[in-house]
């Protein structure tokens, strides 16, 4: 999945964007305080504690038997992912995963965390106007309430406020790397925020405010990363928190250059409506 060309100091300076507090509020006030510590294509292993909202989405397919996607925990019972990752038939999600080669406790980074756990999905909804490259967003409801810990905690989603322009994003996933179709260890990459017109020209497709165009000359999201979060760290209520800006949607077959992400800020109304509906059904 991603090669990092920015210094650690430069990365931290660019990823931390200050949030103006006012009428805006967090979807879940217990969303994770960032733990940035100094293979998505061209990427590097992420810190074992830095992405507790990462979810592996598992869906059945006729072609390969199973499809893996990324997702993000957004509340104690709901996972945000791409609509194209949601399939008919029974689906599951894996939470608390970092290195999927470990079968007991994961101590691969010198810090031990419990083994990931699997939860059934009992409801799933996609945007009613999803048509492949547009409105590529969906929500999964887990069959049980998930207790939060240092290893499982939701990413922040800001409601009722535009999050403004961000120069750099992070993207995480277990998808393809330069040497493998998938990565055992969760990868992180740094991507630049590009004008949507650049993606429109490069990918020969139409783009609007529901999309984010991001990429790098050295890194990109790739196969298996779909549905995962595009994020940036912002200061909010005195803490540096990781906010989700986008969802991995599609890009070049080469997994290099530019990629397209569903703009989460544009769909917060959809998220709120779905959560309210699924809480009551």
The residues that are catalytic are 84, 136, 226
**Contact predicate 31/24, CB 8 Å:** no
**Contact predicate 180/42, CB 8 Å:** no
**Contact predicate 160/24, CB 8 Å:** yes
Six-digit token string for 247: 């969802």
Cα–Cα distance for residue pair 165/173, rounded to 1 Å: 23
> Given its phi and psi angles, is residue 98 left (phi above 0), alpha (psi -120 to 50 degrees) or beta?
alpha
Cα–Cα distance for residue pair 126/241, rounded to 1 Å: 27
Question: Which residue is associated with the tokens 């998808």?
Answer: 175
DSSP H/E element including 3: none
Residue 264, classed as helix, strand or coil, is: helix
Query: How buried is 194 (Cβ within 10 angstroms: 0-12 exposed, 13-18 middle, 19+ buried)?
Result: middle
Query: How buried is 269 (Cβ within 10 angstroms: 0-12 exposed, 13-18 middle, 19+ buried)?
Result: exposed
Residue 12, classed as helix, strand or coil, is: helix
Where are any strands of DSSP class E within 74-166? 78-81, 92-95, 117-126, 138-142, 158-159
Q: Read off the DSSP letter of residue 270.
A: H
Six-digit token string for 185: 């260890």
């Amino acid at each position: 999945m991603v090669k990092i060309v920015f210094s650690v100091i430069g990365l931290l300076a660019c990823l931390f964007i200050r949030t103006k507090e006012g009428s805006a509020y967090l979807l879940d006030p217990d969303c994770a305080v960032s733990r940035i510590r100094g293979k998505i294509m061209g990427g590097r292993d992420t810190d074992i504690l830095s992405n507790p909202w990462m979810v592996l989405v598992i869906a059945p397919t006729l072609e390969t038997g199973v499809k893996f996607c990324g997702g993000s925990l957004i509340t104690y019972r709901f996972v945000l992912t791409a609509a194209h990752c949601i399939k008919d038939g029974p689906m599951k999600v894996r939470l608390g995963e970092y290195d999927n080669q470990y079968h007991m406790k994961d101590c691969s980074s010198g810090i031990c965390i419990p083994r990931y756990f699997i939860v059934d999905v009992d409801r799933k909804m996609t945007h009613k106007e999803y048509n492949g490259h547009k409105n590529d967003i969906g929500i999964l409801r887990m069959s049980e309430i998930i207790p939060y810990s240092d290893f499982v905690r939701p990413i922040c989603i800001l409601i009722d406020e535009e999050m403004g322009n961000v120069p750099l994003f992070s993207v995480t996933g277990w998808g393809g790397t330069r040497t493998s179709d998938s990565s055992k260890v969760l990868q992180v990459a740094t991507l630049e925020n590009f004008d949507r017109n650049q993606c429109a020209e490069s990918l020969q497709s139409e783009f609007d405010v529901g999309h984010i165009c991001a990429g790098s000359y050295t890194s990109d999201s790739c196969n298996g990363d779909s549905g995962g979060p595009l994020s940036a760290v912002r200061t909010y209520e005195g803490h540096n928190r990781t906010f989700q800006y986008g969802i991995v949607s599609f890009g070049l077959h080469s997994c290099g250059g530019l990629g397209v992400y569903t703009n989460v800020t544009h769909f917060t109304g959809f998220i709120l409506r779905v959560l309210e509906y699924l809480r009551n059904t």
